[in-house]
Structure 1
Amino acid sequence: MEKTGGEPGGVLGDNISRSKSLFETVNSSHQYTIKGYSLAKGMGPGKYMTSDMFTVGGYQWAVYFYPDGKNPEDNSLYVSVFIALASEGTDVRALFELTLLDQSGKGKHKIHSHFDRALESGPYTLKYRGSMWGYKRFYRRTSLETSDYLKDDCLVMNCTVGVVRNRLETPRQFSIPVPPPDMGSSLRELLKFGIGSDIVFVVGDETFKAHKLILAARSPVFKAQFFGLIGNPNVDKIIVEDVEPPVFKAMLIFMYSDELPDVVELTGSISMCTSINMVQHLLAAADRYGLERLKLLCEGKLCQEITADTVAPTLTLAEQHQCAHLKSVCLKFTAARENLGVVLQTEGFEYLEQSCPSLLYDILATVAADEDSTHASRRRSSSSYLGLTLMDGVDSSGRRTRRRF
C-alpha cells in the first residue's frame, strides 16, 4: 500500500477513515413496595418474595426480597435484597442501584449504587437467566425494624438498572439534497401544453385539452362518464354548459396539481368581489364533479371572506350545495344584531328570498337562539323586533313594507 502520511505514528493524510465505538447505558427504574412486612417474617432463610417483572434494555428484571435472609448461616439476622435477570440472556452487563427509602421525610435514604463511581472490574455481568446482583446482608433486621425506613409496617425500595450497550458510529460520507415533491407541477405542465391529451372540453368560447385517466382518477363523475357502465371511453369532445371558462380552468388546475389556483392569475383582477365570486362558482363546480377536497377548500376560503354584501349569496350557495359548516357560519354572521339590518337591504338577500325562501326561517331560528343567550328580560321584546325587521322591508321612502314568503 502506498504511504500517504508522514513517519509511522505521525499524522495521516486526508484520506483517513474514522469510526467510533460508543458505550452507554439504557436506564430505567422500578419501585417495589412491601406492605405488611411483619407478616412476611418467619418465612425462613432462603425464602423470598418478588416484585413484578420490569423491562430495561430489552431484558426483564425483578427484585427479590428475603425477609429472613438468603444465607441460613446468618440465622435471620439480616434481610437480603437482590436484582435478578428474569428473561433469557447471556453475559448481560449492567449497573445497579438499590435504594431503601427514608419515609420520615428527612431524605436519609440507604443507597447502594454502581452509578457515578468508578468500578475496578467494570459493570457487573449476569451470565444467564436467574443470575442475581445484590446483598445477603442488606440490612440488620433489628435495626431496620426500628428505623425510619419502616413506616406503617411498609417498606419501599427503588431499583435502577442500567444495561450496557455499545454501538459503532461512522461519519456521514456525503449528503444528497432532495428537492421537494413536484408531481403536481409536472402534471400541471401536461395540462398547460396538452401533451398526450385525449379529451377536449368546449366551455363557452374556450377549449381545454385534458387526459381522461387523470380526470377519472380525481373525479367520480368523470370516471363514470369515461369508464362507467354507461360511459363512453371513445368520446373525444365534451361541451360543458353552466360553467364559466375561468372556473372550469381553475377546476382543471386543481385536479392536476391538488392546489387551489391563484384567482388573480386566472381572472387578472385583484377585486375582492371578483375573487369571492370566482370561489363561489368554483365551489359549485366542485360539487358538480364530486371534488370534495376542492369543495372544502372553497368553503374555508368563503368563511374567511364573509361580509354583509356577500353573506346572503354565500348562504344561498351553502344551502344549494349542502355545505353545513359554511351555512352555519353565514347564519351566525347574518343573525348578529349589528349585521342583520344591513344584510336585509342587500341585493343578495333579495335573491335569497326568491331562490331559497326556507332560509328565512333558518335565519329567524338563529336570531332566536342568539337572543336566548342574552338577558332573559330582553329576550321577548328583542326577538319580536328582530323578527319583524327580518320579515318586513323598507322601501326607498323609508316606509316599512311587508315581505311575502
Structure 2
Amino acid sequence: MASSRLVSESITRSTCATQTVRGTHQFEIVGYSLKKGLAVGEFVRSAAFAAGGYRWSVRFYPGGFGPAHQEFVSVFVKMMSNKGKAAARFDLRLIDRATGLSQSVYRAAQPMVFDYSVKHKKCKGKRGTRAFMRRSDLESSAFVRDDRLIIECVVEVVVNDSETASPATVSLAGVPAPDLSKHLGKLLEREDDVVGADVTFDVQGQSFPAHRIVLAMRSPVFMASLYGPMKEKGASRIAIDDMQPLVFSALLHFVYNDTLALPDDLGEDDYKEMVRQLLEAADRYAMDRLKMICELILSRSLDGKTVAATLALADQHYCDALRDVCVQFMTLGLDQNDEV
C-alpha cells in the first residue's frame, strides 16, 4: 500500500511602506550687501532645523562654491546630525519679497543620500548646486529687496517602515491627505446657487451666499453674531458696508478652504493694500491664522514708503510680531537707498 505524505504550509506576509517626512526652513539673510563680499568658498549658515529625525542647515555661498562658479551664488543643504545617514529630496526656493510667495530654483527630483560619515571634506553630508543663480540676476530680481534675501529649504526624508501584517491589517500608506477643506470649498463654487446656503452677505452691492454653521465653526465672532443674541441671529441677509467686496471674497474663501487666494492681476501696491485690509478683516472676525499669514506677507515686503503705515496698522490691530519687524527695520535703517 502506497504511503501518502501530508505537507503543511504556512504563509506569512510583511510590508515595507516607504513614506517621506517633510521639514521646511526659511533662512533670512539680512544685510545681503555685506555678505556678498565673502570670498569664493566662504559661506553663511542657517540655524539647524529638524526633518525626519535629523538636523539640517542651509549653506549660502555669496561668492560661489569654487573658482569655476564665481559668477554664481551657490546653495547647499547640509546634514548636521553626527553619524547620520539618510536619503532625502530637497527643494531650494527663494521668497519674492513683493508678494511673499516662494519660487523653486533648484530641486532634487529623486532622493539623494546624505551621509555625515563621508570623509571627503567637500561633500560630507552636503548636497546642493554650485550654479544656484547667476549673481547679477539675483541682485536685480524681486528676491533681493531692502538688502534682504530669504532662502526657503524643503527637505523630504525617506522613511521605510517595515512591519509584519496579518490578513486583517490594513496599511495606511496609501491613505490620501486630509481633504475636508477641499470639500467645504466646493460649496462655494456655484456662486449663483450655493448649495444649502442659509445666509447672504450684501457687501457694497455684491451678494455672497454662505452657510451659518461653517462661518460659526471658523470664527467666534460669526458664532456670536449668527447664533447669539445679536440682531443678525435670525436675519437671512446681512449688510456689510465698510469692507471691499474683493476683501470679503478672500475672507470667505479662507473660511471654506483654509488657504489665502488673491486676484492674480493685482499690481504690487494694490496687492499690499489688499493684504492690509484682509488683516483688518481677520482681526475683526478673530481669525488668527489668517491674521498671522497677512502679518508674514507684510513683514516680508516692507520698504521705506510703507513701513510707517504698516507700523500704525500693527499697533492698531495688536500685531506684536509685525510691529517688532517694523521697529527693527526703522532702527537698522535697512532702506537707505529709498527716498523718504
TM-score, length of structure 2 as denominator length: 0.48
Q: Which protein shows a greater Rg? A: 1
The higher-RCO structure (CA 8 Å, 6+ apart) is 2
The structure richer in strand per residue is 2
The structure richer in helix per residue is 1
TM-score, length of structure 1 as denominator length: 0.41
